Chain A
């Protein structure tokens, strides 16, 4: 390879690293993303310099088609649909790595009948299979996040045994592929098994565990890209793939810690479904107190500090703009207002922050769990909007509860807690929320967007 191209790759790698570093701070994040896009452009140009000019036509055509599709989706997607969009793009990246591995294998081993050495063979096999798992896993995550079907945990008998058998079958196909590289059947068998494994490993995982799954699959797509780097002997692929792979693993760990569960526990799936009967014994009928919009408005009016706790329910009801308007009204009345963000609220890491940012809420008002938990005892009203398990005090008090030990937002310490919720349905973990029966808790039933809007107009009517 020409030294000039090598240097371009080196520059691209450096800019990637600087870009990711800048993405770690709120005020530089946008610049970081831009740098990383520039790095990608440099890497693409450096690669185009190596290919035969005669193939430029179809390469440009392919990039124009892909670019147009990507650009269109990115511009039109709703902010609430961001988790599934990321999952879908991630799946495409995984499939691309699979195809690159297959293509290289086909070009060199099948069409040119070159011998396959051990390193290339292992890298092709791993790149293709990990890419394939990423693809079907991400696609299923996309479907689950859209919430039309399969959104819960789908569990059936012998699930883990089937996965294990498929996994062993895939490795066996890999070994046979290494022994008989000129016969593509073994590679294809491994590919099919990997596609099936992607589906089967994500299917038992329920909606609220999706933040973990999406970050893990993101990591896989990086690892797959990294492996294609070993196939093609290309360092920029290895470096950037490794950066994405390790960042995905870190995010996965953060998510697991926030739920007090091990990665294995999340991946085995079925959370909430299997625990129902065990938790049922604890569920004494809670006596709840309901509150109407008028009364709620009066409570807010007389408060001097309010903390809003948003959850996935707020995203479903598309209530973020209504919430912003409500928060503005309270601020006008000199009521201090903050938002308490649980690390796993929503369907992907940081989901709530994106939604509230979309509604134009200043990010310094969004406070992390550890920073705000001590403030609740000095808070007049905690308003919980569509969050459930992350505010359930059973995580602190009830050793029998499946969520015991999970770090939660201590909203129950506030003087009054108002819970905006559609009905008495259980949260993702399938446990009763004892908060709803607390003497300082009031339930405000109804669709979050409609209810918050009503409370806002009540407040306006009350005047100054």
Chain B
């Protein structure tokens, strides 16, 4: 990775972090649990990495198997996380 690419990625990181701070700062406490569970589902984005690693060819490669294991875990995190958050939010009703 050359220095330009790295700097660009660091810019992305810093700006995204600020966006994250701004977005979450005003969330009312009522929503803290769904928010946590929702952002937990989002952290399953590592599934993208897992797919890339699983995509390598050759069943003798340890790297590939590590990737596939990561893929299963990340999918549990993503699917379970979104489903459970939706179940919770469905209950938040105003009468």
Contacts and interface: CB of A to CB of B under 8 A. Distances in A.
Interface in A21-39: 21, 23-27, 29-30, 32-34, 36-37
B93 A362 contact: yes
A-side interface mostly: helix
B12 A62 contact: no
Contacts of B45: 40, 43, 225, 236-237, 240-241, 244
A96 to B, nearest CB: 4
A33 B34 contact: yes
Interface in B18-39: 18-21, 23-39
A107 B61 contact: yes
A222 B43 contact: yes
B43 A242 contact: no
A117 B75 CA distance: 30
Contact of A24 (B24, B43, B49): B24
Contacts of A55: 54-57, 64
A239 B12 CA distance: 7
Interface residues of A, number: 116
Given A221-B40, A364-B94, A52 B80 contact: no
Nearest to A341: B29
A251 B46 contact: no
A230 B76 CA distance: 23
A363 B81 CA distance: 23
A166 interface: no
Contact of B42 (A21, A36, A83, A233): A36
Interface of B: 1, 5-6, 9, 12-13, 16-21, 23-57, 61-64, 66-95
Given A16-B42, A247-B20, A250-B20, 9 more contacts: A58-B54, A69-B80, A100-B67, A103-B63, A103-B64, A107-B64, A231-B49, A237-B45, A353-B32
Interface of A: 16-17, 20-21, 23-27, 29-30, 32-34, 36-37, 40, 43-44, 47-48, 50-52, 54-55, 58-59, 62-63, 65-67, 69-71, 73-75, 77, 79, 82-83, 85-86, 89-90, 92-93, 95-100, 102-108, 110-111, 117, 119-120, 214-215, 218, 221-222, 224-226, 228-251, 254, 341, 343, 348-351, 353-354, 357-358, 360, 362-364, 366, 368
